[in-house]
Chains A and B, each alone.
Chain A
Amino acid sequence: MEKCYHCGDDCTSTIVDFDEKKFCCNGCKTVYEIFSTNNLSYYYDIETSAGATPNIVEGKYDFLDTTDISEKLLEFKDTNIQIINLYIPHIHCSSCIWVLENLNKLNQHISNSQVDFPKKTVRISYNPESISLKEVVLLLTHIGYEPTISLEDYNNPKKSTNNTLLYKLGIAGFAFGNVMFLSFPEYFDLASSAKNGGEFWLNKYQDIFRWIMFAFSLPVVFYAAQNYFISAYKGLRSKLLNIDVPIALGILVLFLRSTTEIILQWGPGFFDSLTGLVFFLLLGKFFQQKTYSFLSFERDYKSYFPIAVTRILPNKKEETAPIHDIKKGDKILIRNEELIPVDGVLISPISRIDYSFVTGESEPVTKVSGDKIFAGGKQLHSAIEMEALKTVSQSYLTQLWSNSIFKTNKTSRFQSITDSIGKRFTIGVLSIAFLATLFWLFYNPSMALNVFTAVLIIACPCAIALASPFTLGNMLRIYGKNKFYLKDTYTIEQLAKIDTVIFDKTGTITTAKKSTASYEGYSLTKEEEALLKNTLRSSNHPLSRSLYSMLSEQNIVTLDAYEEHLGKGIIGTKENATIKIGSASFVKNTSTKDAKNTSVHISSNDAYKGRFIFKNEYREGVSNLFSKMSKTLKLAILSGDNSGEKSRLEKLLPKLTPLYFNQKPEDKLEFIKSLQDQGKTVMMVGDGLNDAGALAQSNVGIAISENVNVFSPACDGILDATKFQELYTYILVSKKAMNIIKWSFLLSLLYNIVGLYFAITGQLEPVIAAILMPLSSISVVAFTTIATNFLGKKLR
């Protein structure tokens, strides 16, 4: 099979030869032509077949000509320069970067374009006097880099990144390095006194060294570490002893004791440990903060909906209107492949709407004039007219987002492992500190305060606070390499606690790409098979396409006649043989209602032959995965589809797996809620907008995606569909990761015990603290990194 020179797909039906190269379609050939005439054919040398087939829909971007709308999208606007930031999902290799940064070679009015590869965005500056925003977008579309412009982009083109943590880390690291440097003389006891062999001049100038260290520690305590104080204060106010309480206490005591020491000239203080502690803690936070900038976990319907639609005015004129302006009674034009933005009534005679994303129904639905159609469906074939019944925010689908579950933050609903340890730890440390102080008060009162502060300093749970971010942060990266993208480290903790897993059916355990069909009826002759295949070749209907790829190879012949009856079927004629392919009513003139199965009927020369019955194709290893999971976890299927596949599912899945059909989005949400009320920790695996409520309600909501760059609803994690069968392994690995954390808690406790020995006996020298603290942190970090990498090796 020939591969297309541009996009790398198999050349199935037609091969276009051009310039000694093979192309799968004219679209791909055109892009090649554009590139080669503009001296950009180096594109194909960097990375072979990196392109995408351009998919041009007439009039799709007309709304960009409306200034009200385009203004909301622009990042910068002036009379002769405009800047726009566009999200292009297809950006995936160095060829893409190269060609998009050379856009000015394709159009001279584009002055500059810069790609942000991790975010998959391109920032284009152009001269609006000679090229409009619509033309820029069309140019991109014509070379196969179609940007995604959705309702989400409306009103917020600028997303500022938060660099505070970087600044804090910079300050803490800067201060840590300098303070370490300045306390070197003290470490080697050079400053003790001239009599003890210390250096005279260091002894003489020790005050200046100490006060500079004090100055360096000020921004660390009051700026870099401020979040620990805030968090500890918040925790205490809500009567919670989180891990930040002992940390904040440690930092405060370190700072106060060190300052007192240098004021009263008792000693050098612990500024090195103080700055080091904050630096390591912030480093842990930084490491934990792994975000997949090209994925979004917060999406709602807005990133799926278009910005504008075509409204038909009473005087039959068309205009582009922002979606929020659509009112009840407006007439709207929906083009091929466009999304229906509001609930309404169909005016056109017939339409086929794909609701798979909203309801989970696998097959497009045919609606006729006067039928009610719901927002979220995608119109297939030709354009339709409809009348709006509601506004966008009041539509059936979008109302799901008014549920309160979308407004609560998941992380605040549960307590993390570090915080639950923190409670016991704080109580333990405080009681040790008070007991030791009590002892010294009787034994030698002058040491009491020294011991009290020393215990709080040395017990500061730096290593404990680092164990979780480094283990989970590294796990996040390992999962990411294995195509399991989680929102945050907190999700891993929840993943380890899962005891119930709920699956959606359509798109989750079935694939969207493939479906199988079986033939029922009289067998077809050779000639009929050839005619069938050749007739299907001309049709663009999804069912024709998939049936075409399933049938065996036939010689390509030109048909004498070909007719396509929209929403009904197709007729092909060759010499004196005629074949009819399509719905039952079209082929047989009788409408047999078999709604549960999708079938394509065939008749040859008006004699009924039989039908192809389409079935959902289940993902590879579904049966295996379910039987493995059912041993330790409770499973269930929650489908928005009808029960047509019930018997097949029952065969495929372990016995007594509960199956629920015809579930509305709210039903799914309520189902998860009721399980949680029974004390279950629930994981929801879904794919579409109809699962959005359930994904938000569940403890861990995982979205399955065939292509992670395309839309997935708000969730805690996105799993690449190819890794679906690994799901159980990932859950097991998360449990092991939690064990690693527990082991590193133990490790850091050992260091604390050693430190406490010095503290309680009143021997805590600054140099001991300066050695113990980084040592415990580094060994915990090393342990967790090695252990998690070991786990990661097992995954592959």
Chain B
Amino acid sequence: MSVIYVLLTISIIVAILFFVAFIISVKNGQYEDSYTPSVRMLFEDELVVKTTKEKTPKINPTK
């Protein structure tokens, strides 16, 4: 039954991995601005659409 050591080690390693991921994300400033990325992810391509003079349906990401 010493497999319990293996299981415990694996579970703790997985937990520690997530914990390290959390620390890294805080260090990278992911928690400093939690609003702008949510708006930004809805943009990106608009510029191309406009240069081809196509009418784009109006979207309103803030509402």
Which residues of A does B touch, CB under 8 Å? 39-42, 45-47, 93-94, 97-98, 101-102, 105, 114-119, 161, 163, 166-167, 170-171, 174, 177-178, 181, 201, 204-205, 208, 212
Contact = CB atoms under 8 A, between A and B. Distances in A.
Given A45-B56, A166-B26, A178-B15, A94 B39 contact: yes
A42 B36 contact: no
Contacts of A119: 33
A41 B46 CA distance: 10
A116 B36 contact: yes
Interface in B49-63: 49-51, 56, 58-62
A46 B60 contact: yes
Given A97-B40, A205-B4, A117 B35 contact: yes
Given A39-B51, A201-B4, A98 B26 contact: no
A118 B35 CA distance: 7
B4 A94 contact: no
A178 B26 CA distance: 21
A121 B19 CA distance: 30
A114 B29 CA distance: 13
Contact of A101 (B34, B43, B51, B62): B43
Contact of A42 (B19, B27, B46): B46
B59 A46 contact: yes
A42 B26 contact: no
A118 B39 CA distance: 12
A232 to B, nearest CB: 27
Contacts of A114: 36
B56 to A, nearest CB: 6
B31 A166 contact: yes
A501 B15 CA distance: 54
15 contacts: A42-B49, A42-B50, A42-B56, A45-B59, A94-B39, A97-B36, A98-B46, A101-B40, A115-B36, A161-B29, A163-B27, A171-B19, A174-B15, A204-B1, A205-B1
Nearest to B53: A39
A170 B12 contact: no
A178 B5 CA distance: 15
Contacts of A46: 59-61
Contacts of A166: 26, 31
Nearest to A182: B8
A216 to B, nearest CB: 9
Contacts of A178: 12, 15
A102 B47 contact: yes
Contacts of A171: 19
A45 B57 CA distance: 8
Given A119-B33, A201-B1, A47 B49 contact: no
B8 A212 contact: yes
Contact of A117 (B1, B4, B33, B58): B33
Interface of B: 1, 4-5, 8, 11-12, 15, 18-19, 22-23, 26-27, 29, 31-36, 39-40, 42-43, 46-47, 49-51, 56, 58-62
Contacts of B11: 181
Q: Is the interface of B mostly helix, strand, loop or mixed?
A: helix
B17 to A, nearest CB: 11
Given A94-B61, A163-B27, A174-B19, 10 more contacts: A39-B47, A39-B50, A42-B47, A45-B59, A46-B61, A94-B62, A98-B46, A161-B32, A174-B22, A205-B1
A117 B41 CA distance: 14
B8 A208 contact: yes
Contacts of B1: 201, 204-205
Contacts of A181: 11
Nearest to B31: A166
Contact of B5 (A39, A42, A98, A208): A208
A212 B31 contact: no
Nearest to B29: A161
B41 to A, nearest CB: 11
A101 B15 CA distance: 37
Of residues A47, A97, A161, A171, which shows the largest number of chain B Cβ atoms within 10 Å of its Cβ? A97
B47 A40 contact: yes
A181 B15 CA distance: 11
Contacts of A212: 8, 12
A105 B43 CA distance: 15
Of residues A117, A170, A174, which shows the largest number of chain B Cβ atoms within 10 Å of its Cβ? A117
Nearest to B38: A117
Contacts of B50: 39-42
Given A170-B19, A170-B23, A116 B40 contact: no
A95 B43 CA distance: 10
A682 B13 CA distance: 56
A593 to B, nearest CB: 54
Nearest to A204: B1
B22 A170 contact: yes
A163 B22 CA distance: 12
A170 B24 CA distance: 11
A116 B32 contact: yes
A441 B19 CA distance: 46
Contacts of A41: 50
6 A-B pairs with the lowest CB-CB distances in the bound complex, closest first: A117-B36, A201-B1, A42-B46, A116-B33, A174-B19, A94-B62
A205 B8 CA distance: 11
B33 to A, nearest CB: 5
B57 to A, nearest CB: 9
A97 B1 CA distance: 59
A170 B18 CA distance: 10
A212 B8 CA distance: 9
A40 B59 CA distance: 16
Contacts of B59: 45-46
B12 A118 contact: no
Nearest to A96: B39
A470 B38 CA distance: 27
A177 to B, nearest CB: 7
Nearest to A117: B36
A54 to B, nearest CB: 22
A208 B23 CA distance: 27
A47 B61 CA distance: 9
A101 B40 CA distance: 9
B61 A118 contact: no
B31 A163 contact: yes
Contacts of A116: 32-33, 36
Given A97-B36, A117-B39, A167 B8 contact: no
Contacts of B31: 163, 166
A295 to B, nearest CB: 15
A105 B58 CA distance: 22
